[in-house]
A and B are shown apart, each in its own frame.
Chain A
Amino acid sequence: MLKYILKRIGGGVVTLFIVITLSFFMMRLAPGGPFSKDRAYPPEILRNIEAKYHLDKPLLVQYGIYLERVIFHFDLGPSTRYADRSVNELIASGFEYSARIGLGALIFSVFVGLCAGLIAALNHNKFLDYFPMSISMIGVSMPDFVLANILMLVFALQLGWLPVAGIDSFSGYILPSATLGLIFASSIARLTRGGMLEILGQDFVRTARAKGLSQRTILWRHTLKGGLVPVVSYLGPAIASMMTGSLIVEKVFNIPGLGRFFVDSATNRDYTLAMGSVIVFAVLIIALNIFVDCVYGLLDPRVTYD
């Protein structure tokens, strides 16, 4: 098991290296640069600035400098857009909020999604199956900005239960977490239902019933583990995207999270911040996938690690 994890981490490092390399060069291939857009700097100032960010050196040298900084100092460099702020700082400040909202969304989506999926599976082809599944269909297909605005209208403006925007208090996290959570809850509900229906139709469930076990024992002991496998594999990438923030949710609720960096840095050609965002996302995805594969082993004894 330990050997397996080490091997996977090794593979992850290689993947990360490839991701860094590809994004580095692809970004440079795209036309424009961090200082070519809004203001036309005088040439000597531009030269100075470019020298500060090493942009005047050959591309390969820049790549070498970048790698060296990232690998040996865990330093993602200075932002080319937000003067005097390092990418590490920017990401850390955004991640604080995004992670809290993401955690809230995770708890919310897993709870709501599992409950709805289980209820639907246990009431297959009855009202309690159709009803949550129709709702989740809406959840899957509704754009997040619509959902965010509806929730804000109802719970903040109409009922006045929750703040409209901002995250000065705990209650400020509820609406953004719920918005993000509901979107993922819909998929989790559908996957739970599908997984559970598949397991409930297996021969060993009939065996369990033939033994005289109660419905509850059959559900908890015999079917839950297997039924949740699809949800677990979905959760790996889903957690990564919940934790790294959603641009829309952050815009609607005015939250200084990570999501906006992802988008803004690309449009601004903020090379270092964009690279930093890519690395954070890649690390999260890789780590979560390793974690998910380990959880498989806990769920299904037939999975072997070698």
Chain B
Amino acid sequence: MRAMLGKGSIRRRLVVQLSLIAAVLSLAFFLIVRAVAGQAASDTQDNILAASATSIADAIYSERGRISLELPYSALSMLGSISQDRVFYRVIVDGETLTGYDDLPAPAHFPKPSEPVFSTLDFRGEEVRSVAVGRTVSSGGQAIRAAIVVAQTRSGLAAITSKISATSVAVGIGLFLFATLLSLLAAQSALLPLNRMTQSIKRRGPHDLRPVRTEIPGELLPLVAALNNFMARLRAALAQSEELVAEAAHRVRTPLAVVRTQAEVALRRLDKPEDRQALREMIRAVDESSRSAGQLLDHAMVTFRTDHLQETRFDLGEVTRETCAHLQPTAGLKDIALVLDIPERPLPFVGDPILLQSALRNILDNAIKYSPADSEITVTITVDRHYEISFRDQGRGFGDVNTGGLTKRFARGGNVADVVGSGLGLTIVDVVARAHKGRVKIRTNTEGPGACVSLVLPLH
């Protein structure tokens, strides 16, 4: 397809083609004006020459059987009035020169009366335009033929013609430049809807797959329709795969719960310490798998909700306290104390509380998971230019792990190689933070051991 091959911009092509058209039209204008005006100028000279010759013809008379002429003053002076050209004339009667320049060429044939014969020829070293007029004079009862030739050089005509040419060249060039300017503007405005559409698509977020709804010209409708169709398919495919993940996680979690219950029942019945230990290990593994599946489910949920963010106004402190209370039992299992340092006053925030809860839960979950028994986790909220919700533990910290990469999906740090995990926790936190125009801060504690992970959110 040509459109695929052509790399040049549409605008350049438009401008070049329109300019070419303008150039052709300007040239045509120049040629036509020059031809028409040149013709008009030379017609004018011909008319004056003919008038001059006719007035000479009218002044021929016969007297006592002899033909004579009373050359009218105006016959030659009228030729001098339009230009400063040289003038020649000759009157031939019966083949003999009566008066004038006898070397001025006479017409080959006797010109018919009322039909002047024009010709262009060289005379005395210069190009002249000449006219011959015929007249029949009666003298002594005889009809005698007289021919009058009047000629004039053409420098005045040449001057007029070159002036016309210069003017029409100037006008032609002006026309061309003007048309080029107009075609630039035209190309610009023709491409305006395309640019507008490009901008509106560019401005979209990475997950925004809604159909394009900007006003578009008819020519772009098929393209936009194809684009929308493509995005719809993409959206459907994404939704399908997320559904699949959620469904899969759900289906794994249910039998796991059954296995866990059965294992706990068995644990109660067993007495041998090594058997009990093995069963406890099994229960922990089941818990871990179930948590991973829960995180997969969470992740799918978070991705879906951030695409269709439903914002409500809620209290950030409240949500944090709830989350902590929710995980209190888990912390209690490891004798970990949760120390809350949250301002009493309301901390209003606009966003999706479910998403935020999920994010906070994942951070706290990590802190509990990577903390030793009998330790403390401090949860603080500071309000400065942002809200900063920090979870500080007394665990192993991040060591020399590159914390930048930990928010990638399924990324796990080398500091926790001995613990099983999905690598989705911080990913969920990051997605939620971004959806609320915030970010995650991951760092090792500066005072004391442990990690400090914070969610930074904008004040509204």
Specify whether A and B are partners.
Answer: no
* B residues at A contact (CB < 8 Å): none
